Amino acid sequence: MSNPAPIAVALDAPNLGALQDWAGLVAPWVSTLKVGLEVFCRDGDLSVSGARAAASSAGVKGIEIFLDLKLHDIPATVAGAARAVAHLEPAILTVHAAGGAAMVEAAALALPNTRIAAVTVLTSLDEQALAAIGMIGPSIDAAVRLAVLATNAGARAVVCSPREVAAIRAAVSPEITLITPGVRPPGSSVDDQKRVATPAQAMADGSDLLVIGRPITAAADVARAAQEIALSIVDVS
């Protein structure tokens, strides 16, 4: 595929071998490989270098790494954590927007060559869950509010559910990359996601990068699943 689809495949693999297998199978079809918190805590730097090596073995050079650590701590600690992964040269690193403007700014200053992506409202949370943790809702208002705060503080990307992407696109600069998890092909199980949309709908609403995990990695044919989803959004991407 000459222009890989704007998809970040979530490599939430049970072990490093499976992560590398998945990375090699999906790399020809997608732009980005996402390494999450569980995998990084288990495998460390090898999770990133292994994903890159597998993509390279599949003939794909320069695939982007999305390091999804969702950092959330005091500004000095987050800056230190960001600098600690600088040698991995991630294209994207996530922090929680709820950590506040100073924390987001600290991460952005620590890794100027990486797009700091601010997570707004987790896609596993619904309105009842937001109310229980004391976040002023509804979720779309909370997500827009956090997106504006984070991008004003230096975040160059925002993570939001497909349900909020159109509103956030209207509220932030067009240069901001909007990343949407909770994307499910028609007929797929939503699993533990609460606010979801199809790939085509998320792209039409203004998403720049779709995060897709289990619909691809849990498929009987991982490569074919990646190919089919990638081709389904070519016309709208």
What torsion, rounded to 10 degrees, do the Cα atoms 205, 208, 209, 215 define?
30
Q: CB-side exposure of 225: number of CA atoms within 13 Å?
A: 18
DSSP conformation letters of 191-225: TT-SS-B-HHHHHHTT-SEEEE-HHHHTSSSHHHH
Amino acid at the residue 20: Q
User: Nearest 5°: phi and psi at 233?
Assistant: -115, 5
Q: Which two tokens stand for residue 235?
A: 């016309």
- Spatial contact of 197 and 163, defined as CB atoms under 8 Å apart: yes
Sign of the torsion formed by the C-alpha atoms of 132, 137, 138 and 139 = negative
CB 33 within 8 A of CB 6: no
Nearest to 10 by CA among 204, 191, 236, 232: 191
**Three-class secondary structure of residue 93 per DSSP:** strand
Is 61 an annotated catalytic residue?
no
Question: Is 176 within 8 Å of 151 (Cβ atoms)?
Answer: yes
Residue 214's nearest CA partner among 206, 203, 222 is: 222
- Tokens at 165, concatenated: 């992407």
Catalytic residues: 70
